[in-house]
Amino acid sequence: MSRPTLYYVRHGLTDWNVEGRLQGRQDTPLNATGKQQAERCGEILRDLFARDGRAPVDCGYASSPLVRARATMDILRTTLALAPEGYVLDTRLAEIAFGEWEGLTYPDILARDRDIVEAREHDKWLFRPPGGETYEEVAQRVGAWHATLDRDTVVTAHGGTARALIAFLGVASPDEAVHHSIDQGVVYVFADSGVTRHG
């Protein structure tokens, strides 16, 4: 049995993204650029659906419960002429938790925990930030979510959950997956054991 196709959208830009702050589970809103990126993703999806001869209503829709992902979903659904609220929220799609590092920039973290950061560089997959979670744990919860899918699905979530999904689905090894760049304003299509980028 083939896996459902996933149309994966990372949330649009936030001011914390611009400032280089780790967001994790913090609820940061989209900025003006982020809202434009969400609308652009709706347009990309509309084109992909038209190319494949399908309608937006043919897919399921799911989002991380964090406000930046929900707002992205609301905007892209509006762009697709769908009711903004017609999707499922799932906590398993939330961003990787960075614990005590949330809200800090990389220089902040280096000043505070340089020795811990050095340990992270050796094994990013199994590394746990103080009070946070590992990529392996994220892959387990995202994988559990993925196992419930019974149709092709559009999802709005986060960079960390995308990397965990890349590993879980076998698109790349865990060590490679954690270094994947997950951009905003593009749509990643997971299908046939691979992923393609549409921007």
Instruction: Specify the pLDDT at position 182.
Output: 97
d(CA 81, CA 63): 18
Non-local CB neighbours of 50 within 8 Å, separated by 6+ positions: none
The residue length of the chain stands at 199
Number of neighbours of residue 66 by Cβ within 10 angstroms? 24
The DSSP secondary-structure symbol of 108 reads H
* E strand or H helix that includes residue 121: helix 106-122
Sheet holding 153-157, edge to edge: 88-89, 60-63, 153-157, 6-10, 187-191, 194-198
Give the pLDDT confidence of 158-181 residue by residue, as tens digits: 999 999 999 999 999 999 999 999
The DSSP secondary-structure symbol of 151 reads S
Residue with tokens 């196992």: 147
Cβ proximity of 124 and 178 under 8 Å? yes
Residue with tokens 């614990």: 99
Ordered by where they begin, the domains of the chain are 6-198 (3.40.50.1240)
Instruction: Specify the pLDDT at position 1.
Output: 57
Instruction: Specify the pLDDT at position 38.
Output: 98
Amino acid identity, position 140: Q
Residue with tokens 């809103």: 29
Non-local CB neighbours of 196 within 8 Å, separated by 6+ positions: 188, 189
d(CA 162, CA 155): 10
Q: What does DSSP say about strands 153-157 and 60-63: parallel, antiparallel, or unpaired?
A: parallel
Report the share of the chain in percent with pLDDT over 70.
99
Instruction: Specify the pLDDT at position 158.
Output: 98
Residues of the chain with pLDDT under 50: none
Amino acid identity, position 90: D
